[in-house]
């Protein structure tokens, strides 16, 4: 074998070894991030409010001295003042506190302890009202490969899964909210029809029309009694159909 061929084989071998080593390194780093996320989750689970059942009413109209229904959320706010509530979607891994900051970046790669984290945190769109009193509320979370954070949302594109996981709950310091899944969409991150915050009656009507025409499961999944008086919670995560793809599951707050 000529020296040139030997050199080429050696170079190829080195490239392959580097590629294998780099892949192993990346896998190890990824596994460490998943372990870190799991530990943070286990740490905060002691603050999880008791599961709301359908026969429990919200406390929005209760006297002010009786409004504190979730002391665990208050306690968690002492840990991080940006915590505003907890979201649980039974039958999925979505069971986390969520936070608010005045931008999209703070909790994109930061955990509840303020530490750098690939998984980040579940966080609310800074344009939204923290008490969920407005028409639209949007929560963001990463689509993690182990289904943590909002990694369960893509399963809602399956009609059977969607129909079997209709319920959701949000726990605020002073109120509990029951959620009903009504639509699942794959949209662009720049889609103002979905991510725009509806304020006028016309915008609210347009959003309801968007749900009817663009839900993966068709208009039959949309309750017939939707109105501009309804309040909606959108759960959004990355999707991979194209560069800007996002999977969005839309819930109605059940009054």
Asked if residue 41 is part of any domain, the answer here is no
Q: Measured between alpha carbons, how far is 253 from 233 in angstroms, rounded to an integer?
A: 7
Which domain covers residue 182, as residue numbers? Answer: 46-254
Asked if residue 5 is part of any domain, the answer here is no
| DSSP-assigned letter for residue 199 | -
Q: How many independent structural domains does the chain possess?
A: 1
| DSSP-assigned letter for residue 56 | P
Q: Measured between alpha carbons, how far is 61 from 2 in angstroms, rounded to an integer?
A: 87
Q: What CATH number is attached to the domain comprising 67?
A: 2.40.260.10
Three-state DSSP at 46 gives helix
Q: Measured between alpha carbons, how far is 64 from 46 in angstroms, rounded to an integer?
A: 26
Asked if residue 162 is part of any domain, the answer here is yes
Instruction: Give me the tens of pLDDT residue by residue for the chain, a chain 255 residues long.
Output: 566 665 555 556 556 554 554 444 344 444 666 687 889 899 999 999 987 654 444 454 544 445 658 999 999 999 999 999 999 999 999 999 999 999 999 999 999 999 999 999 999 999 999 999 999 999 999 999 999 999 999 999 999 999 999 999 999 999 999 999 999 999 999 999 999 988 899 999 999 999 999 999 998 889 999 999 999 999 999 998 888 999 999 999 998
CA 68 to chain CA centroid, Å, is: 25
Asked if residue 71 is part of any domain, the answer here is yes
């Amino acid at each position: 074998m000529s020296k040139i061929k030997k050199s080429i084989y050696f170079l190829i071998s080195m490239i392959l070894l580097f590629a294998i080593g780099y892949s192993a390194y990346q896998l190890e780093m990824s596994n460490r991030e998943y372990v870190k996320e799991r530990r943070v989750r286990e740490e905060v689970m002691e603050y999880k409010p008791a599961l709301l059942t359908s026969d429990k009413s919200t406390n929005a109209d209760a006297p002010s001295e009786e409004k504190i229904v979730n002391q665990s959320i208050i306690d968690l706010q002492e840990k991080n003042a940006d915590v505003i509530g907890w979201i649980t979607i039974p039958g999925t891994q979505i069971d986390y506190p969520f936070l608010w900051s005045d931008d999209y970046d703070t909790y994109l790669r930061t955990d509840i302890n303020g530490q750098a984290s690939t998984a980040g945190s579940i966080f609310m769109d800074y344009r939204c009202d923290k008490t969920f009193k407005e028409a639209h509320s949007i929560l963001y979370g990463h689509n993690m490969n182990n289904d943590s954070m909002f990694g369960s949302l893509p399963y809602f594109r399956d009609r059977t899964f969607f129909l079997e996981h209709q319920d959701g709950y949000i726990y605020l310091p002073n109120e509990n909210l029951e959620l009903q899944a009504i639509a699942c969409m794959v949209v662009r991150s720049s889609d103002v029809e979905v991510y725009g915050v509806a304020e006028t009656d016309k915008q609210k009507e347009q959003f309801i029309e968007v749900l009817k025409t663009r839900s993966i499961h068709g208009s039959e999944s949309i309750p017939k009694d939707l109105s501009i008086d309804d309040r909606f919670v959108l759960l959004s995560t990355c999707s991979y159909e194209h560069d800007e793809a996002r999977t969005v599951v839309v819930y109605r707050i059940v009054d």
